[in-house]
C-alpha cells in the first residue's frame, strides 16, 4: 500500500512509496561500503572541479589551445563520465543496502530512483537525478553523442569552452527507450550546461539526500 507523503519523512521512504523502516543498524562492513561509495563520488567531483577553470555551478568553462580541443575536451568528458558512473554506483549501494535492511515484502529497484512514469510520487532527489541518469545511459550506449563543445571566448592564445547538452541529439540519436523520461523534471536552461547542473546537484541535492539516507539507516 502506498503511504501518504506525510507518513514518509525520509526520502528512501518516498522512493519506496511506503514508510519502510530499517530492521537493524548497519554492520561495520556495510557502513564502510556505503561510506566508500560516497567518497568515490566526492573524489570524482573534486577531480572534475579541479579540471574546470570556472565555477562549476555558474560558469563551468575549461581553457585550452584551439588545436587541443579534442584532447582536452575528451578529458572533460572522461571526468564527467567517471562522476556519473560513481554516482550510479552510490545509488546502487544505497538501494542494495536498503533492501537488505528492510522486510522482504519491500524492494527498491533501480527504476525507483528515476520513475519512468513521471508521476508526482517521485522523490525530489529522484526528479533531480533523472537527467544525470539519462546522460550516463547515453554515455554507455551513444558514446557522448548528446554533448558538444561551445566556444565561450578567447583568452590570448587560448579559448574557453563549455560542455553543452544537445537535446535534439539526445532524443533523436541516442537510441534510448523513451529518452524524454529522463528530461521531464528539468527544463532546457538547466539541461544546456550539464556540468553546471552537476555542480548544484552535488553540492546541495546529493549531500542532503545522503545525510537523509544516513539518518534513515540510524533510525532503527
At 67-82, the pLDDT tens digits run 899 999 999 999 999 9
Q: What is the pLDDT of residues 157-199, one digit of tens each?
A: 899 999 999 999 999 887 788 889 899 899 999 999 999 999 9
The 8-class DSSP code of residue 66 comes to G
Q: What is the pLDDT of residues 53-69, one digit of tens each?
A: 989 999 999 999 988 99
Q: What is the pLDDT of residues 11-53, one digit of tens each?
A: 999 888 888 899 999 999 999 999 999 999 999 999 999 999 9
Does residue 1 register a pLDDT over 50? no
Spatial strand order of the sheet with 147-155 comes to: 61-65, 158-165, 147-155
Does residue 120 register a pLDDT over 90? no
Least Cα distance to 51 among 22, 29, 80 occurs for: 80
* Three-state DSSP class for residue 183: coil
pLDDT of residue 108: 84
Does residue 3 register a pLDDT over 50? no
For residue 148, what is the enclosing H or E element?
strand 147-155
Does residue 213 register a pLDDT over 90? yes
pLDDT of residue 122: 67
Does residue 135 register a pLDDT over 80? yes
Least Cα distance to 169 among 155, 183, 190, 157 occurs for: 183
Handedness of CA 93, 97, 98, 103 (dihedral sign): positive
**pLDDT mean over 112-132:** 75
Q: Which pTM does this prediction carry?
A: 0.91
Amino acid at each position: 500500500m502506498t503511504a501518504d507523503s506525510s507518513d514518509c519523512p525520509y526520502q528512501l521512504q518516498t522512493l519506496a512509496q511506503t514508510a519502510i523502516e530499517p530492521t537493524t543498524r548497519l554492520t561495520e562492513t556495510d557502513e564502510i561500503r556505503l561510506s566508500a561509495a560516497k567518497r568515490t563520488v566526492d573524489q570524482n567531483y573534486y577531480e572534475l572541479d579541479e579540471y574546470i577553470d570556472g565555477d562549476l555551478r555558474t560558469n563551468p568553462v575549461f581553457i585550452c589551445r584551439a588545436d587541443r580541443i579534442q584532447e582536452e575536451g575528451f578529458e572533460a568528458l572522461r571526468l564527467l563520465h567517471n562522476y556519473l558512473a560513481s554516482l550510479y554506483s552510490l545509488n546502487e549501494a544505497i538501494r542494495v543496502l536498503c533492501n537488505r535492511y528492510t522486510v522482504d515484502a519491500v524492494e527498491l529497484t533501480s527504476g525507483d530512483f528515476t520513475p519512468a512514469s513521471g508521476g508526482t510520487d517521485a522523490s525530489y532527489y529522484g526528479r533531480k537525478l533523472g537527467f544525470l541518469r539519462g546522460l550516463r545511459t547515453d554515455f554507455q550506449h551513444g558514446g557522448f553523442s548528446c554533448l558538444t563543445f561551445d566556444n565561450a571566448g578567447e583568452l590570448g592564445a587560448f579559448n574557453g569552452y563549455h560542455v553543452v547538452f544537445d537535446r535534439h541529439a539526445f532524443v533523436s540519436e541516442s537510441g534510448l527507450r523513451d529518452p524524454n523520461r529522463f528530461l521531464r523534471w528539468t527544463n532546457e536552461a538547466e539541461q544546456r550546461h550539464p556540468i553546471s547542473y552537476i555542480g548544484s546537484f552535488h553540492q546541495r541535492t546529493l549531500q542532503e539526500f545522503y545525510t537523509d539516507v544516513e539518518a534513515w539507516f540510524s533510525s532503527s
